Amino acid sequence: MARLSWVHCLLAITPFALCQSSTSAPADGLTTAAGSQTASVGTATINGTPTTYAVAFTVPASADVGPNILPNIKDRHAKQAQSLCPGYTASGVERTARGFTASLLLAGEACNVYGTDIEDLTLTVEVQTSHRLHVNIAPTYLDSSNTSHFILPEELVPAPKNGHGVQDIDLEFSWNNDPTFSFVVVRKSTGDVLFDTRGSVLVYENQFIEFVSQLPENYNLYGMGERIHGLRLGNNFTATFYAADAGDPIDGNIYGNHPFYLDTRYFEVDNSTGERTIVADQDVSAYGNYESYSHGVYLRNAHGGEALMLPSNITWRTIGGSIDLYVFDGPTPEAVTKQYQGGAIGLPKMEQYWTFGYHQCRWGYKNWSMVEDVVNSYRAFDIPLETVWTDIDYMFQYRDFTNDQNTFPYEAGQELLGRLAANGQHYVPIVDAAIYIPNPNNASDNYTSYTDGHERSVFLTNADGSEYIGSVWPGYTVFADWHASDSVSWWSDQLKQHHDNVPWSGIWIDMSEASSFCIGSCGTGNLSLNPNHPPFGLPGEEGSKIFTYPEGFDKTNKSEAAMASSLSASQSSAVAKATPPSTATVPYFIPTVTPGVRNVTDPPYVLNNINGALGVHAVSPDALHVDGVEEYDVHNLYGHQVLNATYHGLLDVFPGKRPFIIGRSTFAGSGTLAGHWGGDNTSLFAYMYFSIAQALNFALFGIPMFGVDTCGFNGNSDEELCSRWMQLSAFFPFYRNHNTLSANSQEAYVWASVAEASRTAMAIRYSLLPYMYTLFYLSHTTGSTVMRALSWEYPNDPTLAAVDNQFLLGPSLMVVPALGQGMTEVKGVFPGVAQGEVWYDWYTGEAMSAKPGENVTIPAPLGHIPLYVRGGSVLPQQEALYTTNECRNSSYSLIVALDANGAATGQLYVDDGESLAPNATLFVDLTASSGSLYASARGLYEDSNALANVTIMGVASKPKSVTLNGENVSSVAYDDSSKVLKLAELTSTPAWAADWVLSWE
Residues annotated as catalytic are 510, 513, 680
- CB count, 10 Å around CB of 559? 8
Element (DSSP H or E) covering residue 225: strand 220-225
d(CA 273, CA 63): 68
What crossing angle do the helices spanning 685-700 and 333-340 adopt, rounded to 10°?
A: 70
Closest CA to 257 of 629, 645, 701, 680: 701
Closest CA to 151 of 23, 33, 11, 324: 324
Cis status of the peptide bond prior to 331, with omega within 30 of 0: yes
d(CA 669, CA 346): 6
What crossing angle do the helices spanning 487-501 and 448-455 adopt, rounded to 10°?
A: 160
CA separation (Å) from 750 to 738, 753, 819, 969? 14, 9, 21, 45
- CB count, 10 Å around CB of 175? 18
d(CA 311, CA 309): 7
d(CA 747, CA 676): 21
| 274: alpha, beta or left? (left if phi > 0; alpha if psi -120 to 50) | left
Phi, psi at 754, each rounded to 5°: -70, -40
Cis status of the peptide bond prior to 226, with omega within 30 of 0: yes
Query: Going by C-beta distance under 8 Å and a sequence separation of 6 or more, which residues neighbour residue 220?
Result: 232, 263, 264, 265, 266, 281, 791, 801, 802
Burial of 970 (0-12, 13-18, 19+ CB in 10 A): exposed
Residue 637 DSSP symbol: G
DSSP string, 932-971: EEEEEEEES----PBEEEEEEE---S--S-EEETTEEPSE
Helix, strand, or coil here: 777?
helix
d(CA 9, CA 181): 60
d(CA 604, CA 866): 52
Name residue 467's beta-bridge partners: 461
- CB count, 10 Å around CB of 75? 13
Using alpha carbons only, what angle is made at residue 311 by residues 309 and 314, rounded to the nearest 5 degrees? 35
Helix, strand, or coil here: 742?
coil
- CB count, 10 Å around CB of 707? 23
Diameter over CA atoms, the chain: 98
d(CA 540, CA 153): 45
d(CA 774, CA 692): 21
d(CA 196, CA 976): 58
Name residue 710's beta-bridge partners: 737
3-class secondary structure per residue, 820-877: CCCCCEEEECCCCHHHCCCEEECCCCCECCCCCCCCEEEECCCCCCCEEEECCEEEEE
Residues in the chain: 1001
